[in-house]
Amino acid sequence: MKRYSLGIDYGTNSCRSLLIDLDNGAEVGSTVFNYPSGEMGILLDPKDPHVARQNPQDYLDGLEAVTRGALQQAQANVPGFDPTQVVGIGIDTTGSTPIPVNKQGTPLGLLPEFKNNLNAMVWLWKDHTGYAEAAEITKLAHEIRPNIIAKCGGIYSSEWWWSKILRLRRVDAKVFEAAFSFVEHCDWIPAVLTGNTDPLTLKRGVCSAGHKAMFSTEWGGLPDKEFLARLDPALADLRDRLYSVAHTADVKAGSLCAEWSQRLGLKEGIAISVGAFDAHMGAVGAGIKEGTLVKILGTSTCDLMIAPTSKPLADVPGVCGIVNGSVLPGYYGIEAGQSAVGDIFLWFVNHLVPDSYGATVGEKFVNMEKAMLGKKPGATGLLALDWNNGNRTILVDVRLTGLLLGQTLHTEAHEIYRAYIEATAFGALTIIRRVEEYGVKVEEVINTGGLSIKNATLMQCYADIIGKPMKVSQSEQTCALGAAIFGAAAAGAGDIHTLQAQVTATREKVYYPIPENQAVYAELYTLYRTLHDAFGSAEWSGKLSHVMKQLLDIRARQS
């Protein structure tokens, strides 16, 4: 009998489905739903650029639309397909994306009294309003709980769980007090599908709990009440209304309930797996293994590595967390990333690239890439810092901003575009060097996301700068594919490693480093690290007077 699994991937601006054949990984159905609320699905505040919220109704409408869409495609294109052949559903989402909920687990944003209150809505991962609270959490943790903050890379982020909840407590006590509890987006959708949204009994995932909420069995789960009370006594009280157990994503969260069986057109009782973050499931969908770094290249990037729990692993300063089981059971998941990559390119094209490169965004990208062909590394004379949305790793500072150095009256837009590509690659190299410094070997990089498929110039720059073979995932939807793998595992259709072998692959084209390019980029990276440390570290001391001149010298050699 044929068996299929469904993965639902909730991104920043849209959600998408992927229905896969578990025998061979064939992708038989997929639909995208763009969130209708706000600006490209994000609820903004013109008075505060750090605000980024979402409407929970968009998640429910999207769930129904993308599931039915995938089933319709499969029925139209696959002879003999029947929805009863779908055995499981897996969910991935952005994060940390906490939702304030009432006792029944209903998001406050769905209640009439809060429908126009941004603070009652979902706090999207890229909401940075809690940056002061994050700094406060970091400071207190170093003072009284250094073992906890060490597993977070030494710095707590404004993108994470406690920063956002503490911020809500301080800016809107009414909403905070109306919230019986808080649930991560990746935990709430499986709860909805199983019909159990009770915050006290729904199954929480260790991926979100460990990486964003400082959860670990090493210290008894969530941070202790004494620590939380030092931040705010209300957080200590809230701890009793959260959770004490967290699960890996291969665990069954429950079975598809009758209501959602009818709404989706699927068989009641099929397995729903515990949810996790998009990048972590994307790493599994890309075929992650020991020695492999998976880069999810999108608006931002997330970098995932694994290390076996059977071996000791040092704490790595500046990463986004080391969590047992967050990617694969039996392995530590190591997360890092960059707060803006594709977002930088889109900002540049939308605001600064002239119409001489084309009438549309797509034309401008294509023509800039054409203009870069044949150009040597360093020939632009430019160097940039990739912090237009702050720095996620290794400095973990949302108040850092972008920088472009070396422009002259002759600088052209495609040269700036290349400098930004190189800057994101230098940022990626900085992450790799940090984790390797602490004993995590990176032998190859598997890339996934639209940039890795559409932009060969970017991929070659990354290979030359990082100095590793750069592979590209076969699937364009590795996050949804990973979710489908976990949905199948929860249904008992196979263990994760067997399922990975059956349904994941990389493309034939591999980007290898070009030695002569590597040599020039090594010079440029030294200058990048000078700027990185000078602007990003309070401990730095030195001079910057040589940087512009050295960029000119490199440009003269390479032009």
- At 36-63, the pLDDT tens digits run 999 999 999 999 999 999 999 999 999 9
CA distances from 530 to 39, 132, 162, 199, 393 (A): 37, 27, 33, 48, 16
- Residue 286: closest CA among 301, 272, 275: 301
287: left (phi over 0), alpha (psi -120 to 50) or beta: left
Alpha-carbon gap, residue 76 to 451, rounded angstroms: 30
Find the mean pLDDT for residues 221-238: 98
CA distances from 113 to 120, 166, 168, 441 (A): 10, 22, 17, 52
CA distances from 33 to 16, 30, 52, 462, 484 (A): 6, 10, 19, 31, 18
Residue 559's pLDDT is 84
What are 484-530's pLDDT values in tens digits? 999 999 999 999 999 999 999 999 999 999 999 999 999 999 999 99
User: What element of type H or E holds 200?
Assistant: none
Percent of all residues in the chain with a pLDDT value above 90, rounded to a whole number: 92
Name the pTM for this structure.
0.89
What are 292-302's pLDDT values in tens digits? 999 998 888 98
pLDDT-based confidence at 397, cuts 50/70/90? confident
Alpha-carbon gap, residue 274 to 483, rounded angstroms: 10
CA distances from 471 to 46, 410, 510 (A): 41, 35, 5
Q: How many helices (H) and strands (E) does the chain have?
A: 20, 21
Alpha-carbon gap, residue 67 to 342, rounded angstroms: 27
Alpha-carbon gap, residue 379 to 89, rounded angstroms: 50
Count of C-beta atoms within a 10 Å radius of residue 444: 15
What are 244-286's pLDDT values in tens digits? 999 999 999 999 999 999 999 999 999 999 999 999 999 999 9
Find the mean pLDDT for residues 361-370: 95
Find the mean pLDDT for residues 78-99: 97
Residue 299's pLDDT is 82
SS3 536: helix
**Which residue type occupies 88?**
G
pLDDT-based confidence at 451, cuts 50/70/90? confident
Three-class SS of 277-340: EHHHHHHHHHCCCCCEEEEEECCCEEEEEEEECCCCCCCCCCCCCEEECCCCCCEEEEEEEECC
Residue 127's pLDDT is 95
Residue 54's pLDDT is 98
For residue 384, give both structure tokens.
């940039």
